């Protein structure tokens, strides 16, 4: 059985009197309908993308330095980060200096997903799949569509995963949404717009 998801690590890193990020609550029951995914663009110490999948009432999260690619030949490094609250899926704003993850955040892509993870022909729930080190999903986003696989390559302190696009109709070697579609799917704003408005 996977460990019970918890927001303890998420909360311990943050001071909610200073950061506009949601404190969040762990929902006992999953939300209705298909589970959600979100990709945040986060201009912190270094720019990266946070890939998040709803599972067990939280958002399972990975930081992807180069962002998702639609080219199945690209193997994008993905470092696991702490579970985030479901409310975080809608978060955009500026995390103040001195706070964990200080910098500007926007919702780069969002939508629903289907879990395709199987083991010996049997479906594996996402939280369990994360523990086992392999997750396969079908994304229905605005920029990202189709199958993606997340696979753990290294365990331990510097745990590392790879995020790879599967070969299907959503694959595209030429379209590079990270470059061509930098704006928020929630507000249409760029990182610069959000940073400017927060001033
Ligand atoms: Mn981040």
Q: What pLDDT does residue 168 have?
A: 97
For position 82, what pLDDT does the model report?
A: 96
Distance CA 147, CA 122 (A): 18
**Ordered mean pLDDT values, 10 residues apiece, the chain (199 residues):** 77 95 76 90 97 95 98 98 96 96 98 97 96 97 98 95 98 96 98 94
Q: What is the pLDDT of residue 199?
A: 84
**Element of type H or E holding 146:** strand 145-154
Q: How far is the CA of 93 from the centre of ligand 1 (A)?
A: 12
Collapsing DSSP to helix, strand or coil, 195 comes out as: helix
Cα separation, 184 vs 5, in Å, equals 28
Compute the distance from residue 44 Cα to the ligand 1 centre, in Å. 7
What's the gap in Å between 48 CA and the centre of ligand 1?
6
> What are the structure tokens assigned to 13, written together?
């890193």
> Which pair of structure tokens corresponds to residue 189?
């704003």
The full set of domain ranges for the chain reads: 8-198
Distance 161 CA to ligand 1 centre (A): 16
* pTM of the shown model: 0.95
């Amino acid at each position: 059985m996977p460990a019970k998801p918890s927001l303890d690590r998420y909360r311990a890193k943050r001071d909610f009197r200073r950061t506009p990020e949601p404190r969040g609550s762990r929902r006992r029951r999953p939300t209705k309908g298909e589970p959600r995914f979100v990709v945040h663009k986060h201009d912190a110490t270094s720019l990266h993308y946070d890939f998040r999948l709803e599972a067990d009432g939280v958002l399972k999260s990975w930081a992807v330095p180069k962002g998702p690619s639609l080219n199945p030949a690209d193997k994008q490094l993905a470092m696991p980060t702490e579970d985030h609250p479901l409310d975080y899926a809608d978060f955009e704003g500026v995390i103040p200096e001195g706070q964990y993850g200080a910098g500007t955040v926007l919702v780069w892509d969002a939508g629903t997903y289907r879990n395709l993870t199987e083991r010996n022909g049997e479906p594996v729930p996402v939280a369990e799949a994360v523990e086992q080190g392999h997750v396969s999903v079908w994304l229905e986003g605005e920029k990202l569509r189709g199958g993606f696989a997340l696979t753990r390559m290294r365990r331990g302190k510097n745990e590392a995963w790879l995020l790879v696009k599967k070969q299907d109709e959503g694959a595209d070697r030429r379209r590079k949404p990270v470059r061509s579609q930098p704006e928020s799917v929630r507000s249409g704003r760029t990182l610069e717009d959000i940073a400017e408005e927060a001033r």
